[in-house]
């Protein structure tokens, strides 16, 4: 186990030190544009840090029989790793040739359908809440509901990635939650190491997550959240709290775009971070949003009343928009 970690860590450090060499192999680059806030081309290499881990986890598991992941169902590790790698490939292709938004959504749903079709243990059957003993049995709608939740989160996460450190810090919030609940510590600790290396590059505007990084992280987080829910370490309403920040912004943007007769998946500069950037610099915006996410994590860990936390969050969100004269 120690040797495996050492090899993975060395390769991550190697990528960190020789990151700029990716320019020489025509790696995907995010070029400046009307919707961009950076002035130079930046490598969309964030997912590569995590892709290396997944490939090595897969090789070590199948050659040496060493497992880094524990699921409620012990037979799905290989398919999970393969699916995560597939999401990286989808994001990489999108970063390279800019796939049609509708096509991407269909491919995402297709991958999720295959994964859950072969792993029925991860399908959400019953919704349990922290504030009541009543439950909701989803019955025949379980599969569709699970696909809907995962695809919405993956797209919301991708749309949320707009300024340096934003999506990386959001991922860190989830990883902290997993570690504090003693869930997949070996896997998560290695991903935190990779995430920190990426964050150094991201802070310097040398690397962005890109779709490849967003897809791979959001898929892993989404599946882990469902699995830890199966272990009964979190309730449905608490999951909603952790995932609602990008979700609320995505819903607001979808409504505005549809009302303006635009494709809901089309890009613009009306995200919450764009609005905050009209008044604050990037570091200040990052701090504001990270504090909000950290407070929500704290509320979940302390098991505070979800309804109250939800109400306060919506009030804060509304005040931010109003104070910035958004209409």
Is 172 among the domain residues? yes
Is 30 among the domain residues? yes
Averaged pLDDT score across all residues of the chain = 89
- 137 DSSP β-pair partners: 126
Contact predicate 191/9, CB 8 Å: no
Q: What is the mean pLDDT of residues 57-63?
A: 87
Q: In this structure, are strands 29-30 and 132-137 parallel, antiparallel, or unpaired? A: unpaired
Range with the lowest mean pLDDT among 214-218, 220-224, 263-267, 304-308? 263-267
- 132 DSSP β-pair partners: 129
Q: What 3-state class would DSSP assign to 242?
A: helix
d(CA 117, CA 98): 28
d(CA 108, CA 129): 28
pLDDT digits (tens, 9 = 90+) for 149-166: 999 999 999 988 878 899
pLDDT value at 327 more than 50: no
Which letter, b or e, does each residue of 149-171 get, where b requires 16 or more Cβ atoms within 10 Å of its Cβ?
Answer: bbbbbbbbbbbbbbbbbbbbbbb
* First-last CA distance in the chain: 54
pLDDT value at 35 more than 90: no
Is 151 among the domain residues? yes
What's the pLDDT band for 68 if we cut at 50, 70, 90? confident
Q: What 3-state class would DSSP assign to 134?
A: strand
- Kind plus residue range of the DSSP H or E element containing 282: helix 282-301
pLDDT digits (tens, 9 = 90+) for 298-318: 999 999 999 999 999 888 888
pLDDT value at 326 more than 60: no
What's the pLDDT band for 1 if we cut at 50, 70, 90? low
Is 252 among the domain residues? no
pLDDT value, residue 39: 59
Question: Which domain, by its residues, includes 18?
Answer: 6-234
Other CB atoms within 10 A of residue 20 CB: 12
Of 316, 160, 178, the residue nearest 246 (C-alpha): 160
d(CA 151, CA 155): 6
Q: What's the number of domains the chain is made of? A: 1
Is 95 among the domain residues? yes
pLDDT value, residue 36: 59
The radius of gyration of the chain from alpha carbons, rounded to an integer in Å, stands at 19
Is 301 among the domain residues? no
Of 202, 199, 200, 218, the residue nearest 91 (C-alpha): 218
Is 154 among the domain residues? yes
d(CA 213, CA 185): 21
Q: What 3-state class would DSSP assign to 268?
A: coil
pLDDT digits (tens, 9 = 90+) for 108-167: 999 999 999 998 999 999 999 998 999 999 999 999 999 999 999 999 999 888 788 999
In degrees and rounded to multiples of 5, residue 263 shows phi and psi of -65, 125
Residue 280: left (phi > 0), alpha (psi -120 to 50), or beta?
beta
Q: What 3-state class would DSSP assign to 65?
A: coil
d(CA 88, CA 275): 29
Q: How far is CA 150 from CA 14, 48, 180, 289, in A?
A: 33, 22, 23, 23
Is 293 among the domain residues? no
The burial of 15, by beta-carbon neighbours within 10 Å (0-12 exposed, 13-18 middle, 19 or more buried), is given as buried
């Amino acid at each position: 186990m120690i040797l495996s970690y050492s090899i993975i860590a060395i390769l991550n450090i190697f990528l960190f030190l020789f990151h700029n060499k990716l320019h020489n192999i025509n790696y995907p680059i995010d070029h400046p544009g009307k919707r961009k806030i950076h002035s130079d081309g930046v490598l969309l290499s964030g997912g590569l840090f995590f892709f290396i881990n997944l490939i090595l986890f897969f090789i070590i598991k199948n050659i040496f029989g060493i497992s880094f992941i524990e699921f409620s169902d012990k037979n799905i590790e290989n398919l999970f790793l393969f699916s995560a790698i597939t999401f990286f490939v989808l994001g990489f292709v999108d970063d390279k040739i800019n796939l049609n938004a509708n096509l991407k959504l269909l491919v995402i749903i297709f991958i999720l359908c295959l994964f859950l079709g072969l792993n029925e243990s991860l399908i959400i059957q019953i919704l349990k809440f922290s504030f009541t003993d009543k439950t909701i049995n989803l019955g025949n709608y379980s599969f569709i509901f699970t696909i809907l939740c995962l695809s919405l989160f993956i797209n919301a996460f991708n749309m949320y990635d707009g300024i340096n450190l934003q999506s990386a810090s959001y991922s860190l919030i989830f990883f902290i939650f997993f570690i504090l609940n003693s869930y997949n510590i070996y896997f998560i600790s290695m991903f935190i190491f990779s995430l920190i290396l990426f964050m150094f590059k991201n802070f310097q505007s040398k690397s962005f997550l890109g779709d490849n990084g967003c897809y791979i992280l959001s898929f892993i987080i989404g599946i882990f959240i469902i699995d830890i829910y199966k272990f009964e370490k979190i309730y449905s309403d608490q999951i909603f709290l952790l995932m609602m920040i990008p979700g609320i912004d995505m819903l607001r943007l979808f409504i505005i775009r549809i009302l303006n007769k635009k494709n809901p998946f089309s890009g613009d500069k009306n995200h919450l971070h764009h609005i905050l950037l009209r008044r604050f610099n990037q570091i200040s915006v990052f701090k504001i949003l990270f504090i909000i996410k950290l407070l929500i994590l704290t509320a979940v860990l302390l098991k505070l009343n979800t309804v109250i936390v939800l109400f306060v969050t919506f009030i804060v969100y509304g005040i931010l928009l109003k104070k910035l004269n958004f209409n």
